[in-house]
Amino acid sequence: MADKDLWPDQDISSSADDIRIAETLQRAIALFPEQWAAAAARLRAGDLVDDLVNVSPGAYDHTASSLLASASAWAYSDNEEVIRMLERRGFSNVCVTVTFNNQGFLMDSLVHFVLSRDGRVGILVFRGSQLQPLTNWLANINMKTEAFYAAGRVHGGFYHGILSVWSRVRNYLVAAQNGESICGASLRDAISKRCAQEPSMEDVRVSCDEVSGLLRQGDESRKKERLRSMVGALEDALRFKMEALYITGHSLGGALAVLAAALIYSDEKLRELRPLLRGIYTFGQPMVGDQAFATKFQGEFGNKLFRHVYSRDIIPHLPPRSAGIFEHFGQEYISSIEGWISNRGPTAGQVRIGGVAMLGSALSWLSEQFSPRGLLPDLGPVGWLAKKLVPPFLREPLLLRYSLGDHMPINYLRVSRGPVPGSEFL
């Protein structure tokens, strides 16, 4: 099979860095065509990567939702765990992690930028609030609003959180857009966490030198064994420009994801990134800004923002009205036994008093642990009559309308992955 058939749109001589490597590749392809055809198929048309690239901007995609729910849930882990869990889901990747921790500024931000091995799909995933340190929670309650360019006002703690990591994240996005190695970019950024080892063209050059020697020898088995190993190295070394970008996060991470998209749409130097953005998928996301902010960015990327709300999760109803007027935008999806479905009713609105609502949601969660049948005992016919005649707000007191337990990322992951217990770890 001719090399032009194996590598459409790719000029071997220019992609392989120099003519010597190109000549070796052409000889290797001629000697071992089936393996190269398989490598080309994986590189150019990997099922999951191809599906993610082909999602239309503004179209909700359940495959993307499932993968991004996994990324959001595992973002609370370290860099290597994020890579491992996404690999298990069929997304071969490299990942760089950016952190910013300054207790004086009440900030503890972390974001993973995950890029498919071929460079075509990028996932920007922000970590949510952790139980520790306290700075996470102090940032959450730092609700004094700040102006966001000329587009209304936003939650001050969230805004500081995104700004603390944005300059480095922006560099990685630009590198991926240009087809450059994000691992190479991370080496220039001493603050970034270690990037998973990524093969380079130097690895391919060494491999080509070895293969050139083998091609002059007569040992066919050694040739084939070495060429098999070259296939994997070349799949990693030959990368493409990023063709699709997804942004995601759970809880606080969802709020930062929205602000990241808003920054992309507010920076003219990032204009070329906007068509690549397939969707912002958030899980248990609080409100980010006021009505002016929501109106402005509903027009910019509201059709690409998919907010997921699990059952009675309290967090999408925050910040409370007592902290000012905040408003959601985008498309809301709610949990059901069938999975995520578009919410045709009213979207999540603000609670009035945050402290009371949070206390009630915590009590509701505790009641669920000790009362599996719910808040009302089963009283037979009397109980059935009570549920029919007593108004909902009396059957389930306002204090217990929401649940903090429903905010756990594992709930969002299970709805996205399916109801089988343990599937979130597979």
Condensed to tens digits (0 to 9), the pLDDT of residues 288-307 reads 999 999 999 999 999 999 99
pLDDT exceeds cutoff 70 at 69 = yes
Q: Are 89 and 102 in contact (CB under 8 A)?
A: no
Which contiguous run of DSSP H or E holds residue 157? Answer: helix 156-177
User: Residue 190 — very low, low, confident or very high, per pLDDT cuts 50/70/90?
Assistant: low
Average pLDDT, the chain: 76
What pLDDT is attached to residue 367?
58
Instruction: Report helix angle 33-45 to 19-31, nearest 10.
Output: 110
Superfamily assignment of 51-179+241-351+406-425 in CATH? Alpha/Beta hydrolase fold, catalytic domain (3.40.50.1820)
Instruction: Report helix angle 201-215 to 220-237, nearest 10.
Output: 160
pLDDT in tens, 225-250: 555 555 545 544 556 899 999 999 99
Task: Considering only residues 14 and 271, tell me which one the structure prediction assigns the higher pLDDT.
Answer: 271
Q: Which residue carries 């055809």 as its tokens? A: 37
* Rounded Cα distance, 317 and 307, in Å: 12
DSSP helix, strand, coil percent of the chain (3-state; round to 5): 55, 15, 30
Would you kindly state where each structural domain of the chain is located, as residue ranges? 3-45+195-237, 51-179+241-351+406-425, 353-401
Say if residue 275 is preceded by a cis peptide, omega within 30 of 0. Answer: no
Judge if pTM exceeds 0.85: no
pLDDT in tens, 336-376: 988 999 998 778 888 876 555 556 555 555 555 555 444 44
Q: Which residue carries 């578009």 as its tokens? A: 342
Lowest mean per-residue pLDDT among 169-173, 304-308, 417-421: 417-421
pLDDT exceeds cutoff 60 at 53 = yes
Q: Are 363 and 312 in contact (CB under 8 A)?
A: no
What pLDDT is attached to residue 372?
46
End-to-end, the C-alpha distance of the chain in Å comes to 38
The size of the chain, in residues, is 426
pLDDT exceeds cutoff 90 at 379 = no
Where are the strands (E) in 34-120, listed by range?
Answer: 93-102, 107-116
Kindly tell me the sign of the dihedral angle through the C-alpha atoms of 290, 295, 296, 301.
positive
pLDDT exceeds cutoff 90 at 272 = yes
What pLDDT is attached to residue 264?
97
Tokens for 54?
Answer: 């082909």
Which of 92, 108, 89 lies closest to 100 in space, CA to CA?
108
What pLDDT is attached to residue 4?
44
* Rounded Cα distance, 305 and 258, in Å: 8
pLDDT exceeds cutoff 80 at 16 = no
Give me the amino acid identity at 322.
S
Residues 6 or more apart in contact with residue 155 via CB below 8 angstroms = 142, 143, 145, 255, 286, 287, 288, 289, 319, 326
DSSP secondary structure of 84-107: HHHHHTT--EEEEEEEEEEGGGTE
Residue 196 DSSP symbol = P
Paired strand residues for 400: none
Task: Considering only residues 272 and 191, tell me which one the structure prediction assigns the higher pLDDT.
Answer: 272
What pLDDT is attached to residue 26?
62
Tokens for 39?
Answer: 């490598």
Q: Are 133 and 103 in contact (CB under 8 A)?
A: yes
Which of 240, 205, 108, 92 lies closest to 162 in space, CA to CA?
108
Which of 412, 413, 414, 314 lies closest to 363 in space, CA to CA?
314
Query: How far is C-alpha 47 from the geometric centre of its chain's CA atoms?
Result: 18
Query: How far is C-alpha 276 from the geometric centre of its chain's CA atoms?
Result: 15
Q: Within a 13 Å sphere around the CA of 172, how many CA atoms are in the beta-carbon half?
A: 28
* Rounded Cα distance, 289 and 281, in Å: 17
Query: How far is C-alpha 243 from the geometric centre of its chain's CA atoms?
Result: 16
Q: Which residue carries 């942004």 as its tokens? A: 247
pLDDT in tens, 147-166: 888 689 999 989 999 999 99
Residues 6 or more apart in contact with residue 96 via CB below 8 angstroms = 79, 112, 113, 172, 182, 183, 185, 186, 192, 193, 195
What pLDDT is attached to residue 258?
98
Give me the amino acid identity at 73.
A
Query: How far is C-alpha 253 from the geometric centre of its chain's CA atoms?
Result: 9
* Rounded Cα distance, 11 and 27, in Å: 15
Which contiguous run of DSSP H or E holds residue 153? Answer: strand 153-155
